[in-house]
Amino acid sequence: MSDTIEKIKCLIIGSGPAGYTAAIYAARANMNPVLYQGMQPGGQLTTTNEVENFPGYVDGVTGPEMMIQLQQQAQRFGADVRDGWATKVDFSGDIHKVWINDKIELHCETVIISTGASAKYLGLESEQHYLKMGGGVSACAVCDGFFYRNQEVVIVGAGDSACEEAHYLSKLCSKVTMLVRSDKFRASKIMEARVRKTENISILMNHDTVEILGDGQVVNGVKAKNKTTGEIFDIPATGFFAAIGHKPNTDIFRDYLTLDETGYIINVPGTSKTNVEGVFVAGDAADHVYRQAITAAGTGCMAALDAERYLAAKESEVEEKVIS
């Protein structure tokens, strides 16, 4: 462990739209924010080739390009953006302690958590190949469905989110094939009924995804297996969507913050506040409903404003004690 302890007014853990937006607002409020980018600088959006639904980008923008611009904007106002990730925290006292890379100890007046969530994938080699290529694998129908208008796609999943995304895709695509890995849905009855009633959604129960097919650059099909009969066959498709859930990156906060059963941080409704005073949350670490860049940015703004007001209230308390 380091012999030196750095004192920080506002620490932002994680980057992405939430973290960088929080840094922009915190820097403009003279909070001298320090932002550690985390293990995936820029967050999930860095794996997205085209972002066309973020306001202000008339012709669209790549995810990595947007993250570079947001980082540069935060730095223009004085945000200290650093490499590294939080490996341990102690929120038990008035001083919020955070360790970076198990070496650097920080004592923070406020902490904004924007560690995000990681989409779950099947783990197939071909799936990861086309995900990295940006050639037809996605975990967000709302983000990427637009690119598959009037095309055939495959989606794997069995929960409410999978049904919701399949229904969303059905409005854009000519055909949606839904692969359910077991013999029943995990979704609510109303969501299951919705996809079953949609004419251009074909549901294959008890089917596994064997391989994502393509020409090396883009997807052109999915190899599936009927788990009951053992039959293996190809499904023509230009897109493959994984809708098997997300895992919030919140494990190190579990001993101090209130989390739901999945691991998302529970915030005070209408705010970014957590159950620990001076600790705030923004973006997908708390949001399991919308998970969009624009909503993450909005909560990043909220977190910075909440942190600013928290610090102002503490300063007022100190001044009152001095006067009295």
Catalytically active residues are: 140, 143-144
Bridge-based pairing of strands 80-82 and 33-36 is parallel
Q: How far is CA 67 from CA 33, 70, 98, 237, 254, in A?
A: 18, 5, 24, 30, 28
Q: How far is CA 178 from CA 92, 148, 251, in A?
A: 46, 15, 31
Alpha carbons 58 and 79: distance in angstroms, whole number = 27
Distance of CA 72 to the CA centre of its chain: 21
Q: How far is CA 85 from CA 15, 43, 101, 280, 318, in A?
A: 10, 12, 6, 17, 32
Alpha carbons 204 and 130: distance in angstroms, whole number = 23
Residue 251 parent element (H or E):
none
Using a 10 angstrom Cβ sphere, with 0-12 exposed, 13-18 middle and 19 or more buried, the burial of residue 184 is exposed
Neighbours of 215 (CB within 10 A): 8
Using a 10 angstrom Cβ sphere, with 0-12 exposed, 13-18 middle and 19 or more buried, the burial of residue 58 is exposed
Alpha carbons 254 and 251: distance in angstroms, whole number = 5
Closest CA to 110 of 251, 36, 8: 8
Alpha helices (runs of H) in 257-292, residue ranges in sequence order: none
- Report the DSSP beta bridge partners of residue 223: 211, 234
Closest CA to 181 of 224, 236, 118, 229: 224
